[in-house]
A and B are shown apart, each in its own frame.
Chain A
Amino acid sequence: MTGATTHRVWRLGADVDTDALAPGHAMKHGIDVIARHCLEAVRPEFAREVRAGDVIVAGPNFGIGSSREQAAAVLVQLGVAAVIAPSYGGLYFRNAFNLGLLLLTCAEAESLKDGDRVVLDVAQPSVLAPEGRTLACEPVPDFLMDMVRAGGLMKQLRQRFGKERTQP
């Protein structure tokens, strides 16, 4: 993800928890099935209507709750490009980057509306709102940004172990 890109906003409220993102009753299934139930309790049409490249904008404490990383993997599966919120559950924050999902911490996220089109500048990082306002985001440490670019920790480990096997 480089340069400025345009995205449609799905606006959610505060405290979106991991049970809402990956419901317990679906957890025994693979990620494709869990993804069909993503956010069904708060936004029933989301899983059906979300398109690759859309972004989620939410209130504080996005992803609070369980350690289940499927709650981040569903958004990768559904093609969500990034989540923009004022704060995150700490576990969710680690899980998202481990799976290559970009989380932007943005104090003014809640000023964005459902259906808005926003421009992300990941290098800054910042969000350009429809009326031309620029919303600053907290910097993302380089090693986490590398993880997002690589597509997650697993892809990084694959490179590392692949190399170790070819270099005796």
Chain B
Amino acid sequence: MTASTTALPATPQTLAQKLIARACAREAVAVGEIVTCKVDMAMFHDSSGPRRLQPMLEELGAQIWDRSKIVLVMDHYVPERDDDSRRIVRIARDWARDQQLPHVYDSQGICHVVVPQHGHIRPGMLCVGGDSHSPTGGAFGAYMFGIGSTEMLGVVVSGQIWLRVPETIQMWWDGRLPAGVTAKDMMLHMLSRFGMNGGRYQAVEFCGPAVQALSMQERMTLSNMSAELGGQVGLIAPDATTSAFLAEAGAPAVDTAPWFTDEGADLTRHRFDASTLEPYVAAPHSPANAHGVSHYLGTPVDVAYIGACTGAKLEDLRAAAQVLHGHRVAAGVRLIVAPASLRDQERAREEGVLQSLLDAGAELYPTACGACSGYGDPMGDDITVISTTARNFKGRMGSPTAQVYLGSPYTVAAAALRGCVTDPREVLQ
């Protein structure tokens, strides 16, 4: 045994620092340093990807640095509804074929769900995504963050990206979530407390017994909405839950052991108690405009929308079905269900979850981003929507006069059942 293998780093490191140090081939990195990292995986979709990258690549006369590290997902403009969306999706398909990209998921579901479901995001990696909800990858112990198309071009031609080593803000959750309360409620609670830039573009890390007890899909919801908290990443130290999910996804075996925050590392910690958390609802027009559901009880709704990467995965669909099974939605309420991926939709079908939702009166929408971001079939004027999506900015889901509330799939399903904002714990079977 040599001295170099037994030497410990001089100062304890956070998970974020360890991930960045690996990606820039250093022993350790200090907060505030600007470093250049190697990118292990770059993901983009039809909206942010080929239609912007292809002309820029051509103009440069440059080549993709490593095709095996690129994942392309068609999820924003599918299914194609007009000439513009047909043109955008055709550019993506043609480019994928011309470039012979090995990893392309066309109309399979939303990138933040499909890419992990195929094992592309693993502990220890440094990944970028051409979408703001890319921090979802942090749920797997990867340093993954969103970038714009021009910066993605830089990655695609060089395989590298610069980073400022962030501070770490730990969200430590004690206790265990009660029935009918979810990761979405945890996140809306944190947003109500810290606001939309509370993360200050630093590394947010979710930990504590209540986080360890969460399933992989629930962890993905937390990490996903680190974007709303304003963090660059939303990390969760990987464990046996992570390994089991990735094994099922067909990923190569992973080593989760190195990826945790050292005792004594320099960070800011906020503490929460999951066991006393109530369902949370965000009112128009900000995810941070959130309070306990009791604050909004009785607010009438026209549309209940169960969709998006952060609200229509298999477990979200199960939660909604738990509320709605054997019932019909209230008269005059439209319940829209847009599963996050085809795989989740098929599993929900096999389990009877999808049938419960359809029997309750749900309209099944395509497994795509859809109305979450004003694509597909957006929301009309003056209607009130309660939605499992991540954002309720004015006009985001369609009309600027639409009033959009956000809640967990339990809460959205309960509102569909009663026709107004309802505490889901009252109606859970």
**A residues engaging B (CB < 8 A)?**
15, 17-20, 23-25, 27-29, 41-42, 60-61, 64-69, 72, 87, 89-91, 93-95, 98-99, 141, 143, 152-154, 157-158, 161, 165
Contacts and interface: CB of A to CB of B under 8 A. Distances in A.
A31 B200 CA distance: 29
A61 B398 CA distance: 23
A87 B197 contact: yes
Q: Give the secondary structure class of B's interface.
A: loop
B151 A153 contact: yes
Contacts of A25: 374, 378, 395, 398
A19 B394 contact: yes
B397 to A, nearest CB: 8
Given A28-B88, A154-B59, 13 more contacts: A20-B395, A24-B374, A24-B395, A24-B396, A25-B378, A28-B77, A60-B197, A65-B132, A67-B146, A69-B149, A72-B148, A91-B132, A91-B145
Interface residues of B, number: 47
A106 B216 CA distance: 40
Nearest to A26: B374
A154 B150 contact: yes
Given A24-B373, A28-B77, A65 B391 contact: yes
Contacts of A153: 150-151, 153-154
B408 interface: no
B283 to A, nearest CB: 15
A152 B150 contact: yes
Interface of B: 34, 47-48, 56, 59-62, 77, 84-85, 88, 129-132, 134, 145-151, 153-154, 157, 162, 195-197, 200-201, 230, 232, 286, 373-375, 378, 391, 393-396, 398, 400
B286 A15 contact: yes
9 contacts: A61-B195, A61-B197, A64-B196, A67-B48, A87-B197, A94-B148, A99-B148, A141-B34, A157-B60
B39 to A, nearest CB: 14
Contacts of B393: 17, 19-20, 65
Contacts, number: 121
A67 B88 CA distance: 18
Nearest to B161: A94
Contact of A27 (B47, B131, B201): B47
B146 A91 contact: yes
Nearest to B158: A157
Contacts of B147: 67, 91, 94-95
A152 B56 CA distance: 13
Contact of A64 (B153, B230, B375, B378): B230
User: Which of B85, B129, B151, B154: most chain A CB closer than 10 A?
Assistant: B151
What are the 6 closest A-B residue pairs judged by CB atoms, nearest first? A90-B201, A24-B374, A69-B148, A95-B148, A67-B132, A67-B146
A10 to B, nearest CB: 19
Contacts of A68: 47-48, 132, 148
B377 to A, nearest CB: 12
